[in-house]
């Protein structure tokens, strides 16, 4: 089973040359490719990129943080200037969170690759994809990504407990000389067992492997591209509803809009955490809190995984009622109606039922 899982996992990363590892931690992306003291460029655009930077600093890398306003994407101009100045190639890796869940921002990875190529810079290109692989278009080979990672509990709709890491040949090469301390999650051990055909240096979580098999089967049955299109459609419907309510998207430009989560800015006289609390207490609705810099200012609507049009519309109706509950003058039905208008035009028939 592991053999076919590994083959199929490559499809969701859109890679043929990458090597996947089913490893329950994301730390391994860094420790397998870098050495203590290595300089890395890392983008800070929200809470989840902040946490990754924390981890990078804990692991004793020399982290060159490029910060943007929360609500903006990674500042690629700064990247360009840093690469331009680095003819000595002291920068060993570029670390970027593809989809910043805290602010609903998706970064442009193709553009990062273009910049790296422009300067012919050999830095590794490491991507945290926890919250989007299988939900957004992601092309590991096409975009020259060296390590990408995701988790079981996001777009795969599995329980928590499994990380999936995919490494390019260049990353594997780097792992041979990377000196970071690593024990359980050393790719070397895995590669040894891959060769032997037994695949696992340690006992894996069997139930998650069966879960992954089923999750992949469901995705392939719907079609990976259809899954991604569905995420795009539901995200667009959500943004249309937000606009109909007269509220603002935390994401500052359309090019950064995330198709897995929408962070909604509330008027200053409302505490967004009250919206989350109220939704949970009255309507069994799970919204996301604003985190850190945007705490109290935004709430988040997640729209990823095994979700369909009517489930989203139920959620949007719930948000409307909560907004009214907390004193925001929403016209009930306005967001749902606007979203329906879009969805009624764009939702395809279900292939298996035609």
- Terminal CA-CA length for the chain: 32
User: Which helix (H) or strand (E) element contains residue 259?
Assistant: none
Report if residue 282 touches its own copies, rule: CB under 8 A: yes
Report if residue 281 touches its own copies, rule: CB under 8 A: yes
For its own copies, which residue of 37, 85, 118, 280 counts as binding (CB under 8 A)? 280
* Cβ(261)–Cβ(301) below 8 Å: yes
CB of 24 to its own copies, least distance (A): 6
Q: Which stretch binds its own copies (CB under 8 A): 37-45, 137-145, 199-207, 227-235?
A: 199-207
Report if residue 337 touches its own copies, rule: CB under 8 A: yes
Over the window 284 to 323, marking each residue x when it contacts its own copies by CB under 8 A and - when it does not, the resulting string is xx----------------------xxxxxxxx-xx-xx--
CB of 144 to its own copies, least distance (A): 27
In angstroms, the CA 12 to CA 219 distance is 9
In angstroms, the CA 83 to CA 274 distance is 44
Q: Which stretch binds its own copies (CB under 8 A): 3-11, 42-50, 57-65, 142-150?
A: 57-65
CB of 321 to its own copies, least distance (A): 4
Q: Which stretch binds its own copies (CB under 8 A): 62-70, 98-106, 109-117, 277-285?
A: 277-285
**Separation in Å, CA 121 to CA 82, 88, 153:** 11, 10, 34
**Encoded tokens for 197:** 């055909």
Report if residue 343 touches its own copies, rule: CB under 8 A: yes
Report if residue 102 touches its own copies, rule: CB under 8 A: no
CB of 172 to its own copies, least distance (A): 20
Residue of 186, 152, 193, 147 whose CA lies nearest to 40: 147
Q: How many residues bind its own copies (CB under 8 A)?
A: 59
Beta carbon nearer to its own copies, 160 or 226: 160
In angstroms, the CA 151 to CA 143 distance is 21
For its own copies, which residue of 208, 215, 235, 242 counts as binding (CB under 8 A)? 208
For its own copies, which residue of 4, 17, 198, 207 counts as binding (CB under 8 A)? 207
**Encoded tokens for 277:** 């609390």
**Encoded tokens for 76:** 């690629």
**Encoded tokens for 319:** 């948000």
Report if residue 55 touches its own copies, rule: CB under 8 A: yes
* Cβ(316)–Cβ(339) below 8 Å: yes
In DSSP terms, 39 is beta-bridged to: 62, 91
Instruction: Give one word for 37, left, alpha or beta, with left for phi > 0 and alpha for psi -120 to 50.
Output: left
Report if residue 196 touches its own copies, rule: CB under 8 A: no
- Backbone CA torsion sign across 333, 339, 345, 351: negative
Judged by the rule CB under 8 A, the positions of this chain that interact with its own copies are: 24-25, 27, 55, 58-60, 153, 159-161, 181-184, 203-208, 280-285, 308-315, 317-318, 320-321, 324-325, 331-338, 340-341, 343-344, 347-350, 353-354
């Amino acid at each position: 089973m592991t053999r076919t899982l590994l083959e199929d996992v490559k499809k969701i990363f859109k890679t043929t040359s990458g090597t996947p590892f089913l490893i329950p931690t994301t730390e391994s992306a860094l420790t397998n490719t870098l050495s203590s003291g290595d300089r890395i460029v890392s983008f800070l655009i929200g809470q989840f990129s902040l946490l990754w930077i924390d981890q990078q600093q804990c692991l004793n890398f020399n982290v060159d943080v490029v910060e943007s306003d929360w609500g903006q994407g990674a500042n690629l101009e700064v990247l360009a200037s840093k690469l331009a100045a680095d003819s000595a190639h002291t920068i060993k890796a570029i670390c970027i969170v593809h989809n910043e869940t805290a602010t609903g921002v998706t970064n442009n990875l193709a553009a990062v690759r273009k910049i790296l190529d422009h300067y012919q810079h050999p830095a590794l290109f490491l991507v945290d994809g926890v919250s989007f692989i299988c939900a957004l278009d992601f092309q590991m080979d096409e975009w020259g990504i060296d390590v990408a990672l995701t988790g079981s509990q996001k777009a795969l709709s599995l329980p928590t407990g499994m990380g999936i890491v995919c490494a390019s040949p260049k990353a594997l090469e780097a792992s041979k000389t990377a000196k970071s301390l690593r024990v359980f999650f050393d790719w070397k051990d895995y590669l040894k067992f891959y060769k032997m055909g037994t695949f696992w240096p340690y006992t894996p979580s069997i139930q998650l492997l069966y879960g992954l098999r089923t999750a992949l089967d469901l995705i392939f049955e719907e079609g990976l591209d259809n899954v991604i299109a569905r995420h795009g459609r539901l995200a667009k419907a959500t943004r249309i509803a937000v606009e109909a309510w007269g509220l603002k998207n935390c994401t500052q430009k359309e090019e950064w809009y995330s198709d897995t989560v929408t962070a909604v800015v509330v008027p200053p006289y409302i505490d967004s955490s009250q919206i989350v609390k109220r939704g949970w207490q009255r309507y069994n609705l799970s919204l996301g809190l604003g985190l850190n810099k945007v705490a109290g200012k935004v709430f988040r609507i997640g729209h990823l995984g095994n979700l369909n049009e009517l489930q989203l519309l139920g959620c949007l109706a719930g948000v409307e009622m909560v907004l009214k509950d907390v004193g925001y003058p929403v016209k009930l039905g306005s967001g749902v109606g606007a979203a329906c208008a879009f969805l009624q035009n764009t939702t395809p028939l279900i292939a298996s039922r035609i």
